[in-house]
Amino acid sequence: MNYWLVKSEPDKYGWHHFVEQGRAIWDGVRNYQARNNLNAMRVGDQVLFYHSVTNPGVVGLAKVVKEAYPDPTAANELNAPSTRWVVVELEPVLALPAPVTLSRIKAEPLLANVALIKQSRLSVMPIRPDEFEMILKLGQD
DNA sequence: GCCAACGTTGGC
DNA sequence: GCCAACGTTGGC
């Protein structure tokens, strides 16, 4: 079991929209490091859903339901999906009772090394098990 | 709206 | 291969 965090701007694709749809094709990733992380996801892995830009923070938990395949929104010269970029499919699991804001994450010593803080622009990143547990715990109250 | 961080592009 | 210019992301 691996743990991840994905970012989305709530004005573009927020948690609410995700829950309404019931399933998301996580497309549009155009960064190699983020792409490599998508490729490493396995069915059943747990994924923290983070809102960036507007009220930044972790708002919910999702799970991987389909592993990486070519991104249909990334066409190559032959107008076929490029194999360079990939998508995964995610389903919502639960909304956190209390969103864990970025400022709260920054204030927690055990979360001082999360990629979210170290690499602020990365949109798909791994989360250590202890970090994952801490964020879920903070989201309970 | 501003700005820092950082990835990409293109000239040389 | 280096580096300046530029575009994008994301926090504030």
A120 touches strand B (CB under 7 A): yes
pLDDT-derived band of residue A79, with 50, 70 and 90 as boundaries?
Answer: low
pLDDT-derived band of residue A140, with 50, 70 and 90 as boundaries?
Answer: very high
Query: Pick from A45, A51, A59, A55: which is nearest to A138 by CA?
Result: A59
A48 touches strand C (CB under 7 A): no
Measured distance CA(A34)–CA(A55) in Å, rounded: 22
- Domain A3-138, what fold? ph1033 like fold (3.10.590)
pLDDT mean over A48-77: 92
Measured distance CA(A134)–CA(A82) in Å, rounded: 37
Least confidently predicted of A18-22, A71-75, A89-93: A71-75
Domain boundaries, chain A: 3-138
